[in-house]
Amino acid sequence: MEIVNETPISLPEMEKHIQGIKKRDKELNFRAKKVEEYLKVVQKTKDYEKLKNELEEAGIGRLKLKHITLIINILPTDMDSLRTVLSGENITLKDEDLKKIIEIVSKYV
């Protein structure tokens, strides 16, 4: 098996994929059912596309798609939460950039 392409997707995007599989196959397999149940519990925003676009257009140079996906999935509402979300990644951002991210995310929570 060879990985051809690896693209991070947010939880709302995953829900769209699950719904497509459900429509195509009429019934989900065990793992897909578990994912669907999980998404119903944790998903917090429906306006993820607007949020994603706003974060991409924020002008934060070091913020990549995988970081944006993490932010959309967790929706941190304060600086400590955002730092915690990004702590596992190899990225350092200025306080102004972190504040900008918090302002954008707070509109969608």
Residue 1 maps to a domain: no
Query: What does DSSP assign to residue 25?
Result: H
Residue 3 maps to a domain: no
- Predicted structure pTM score: 0.78
Residue-wise pLDDT tens digits, 12-60: 889 889 999 999 998 899 999 999 998 888 867 778 889 999 999 998 8
Query: Residues 32, 53: one domain?
Result: no
Residue 95 maps to a domain: yes
Per-residue pLDDT band for 100 (boundaries 50, 70, 90) equals: very high
Query: Residues 17, 56: one domain?
Result: no
- Domain hosting 64: range is 48-106
Q: pLDDT at position 43, please?
A: 67
**Percentage of the chain lying above the pLDDT 90 cut:** 43
Query: Residues 101, 53: one domain?
Result: yes
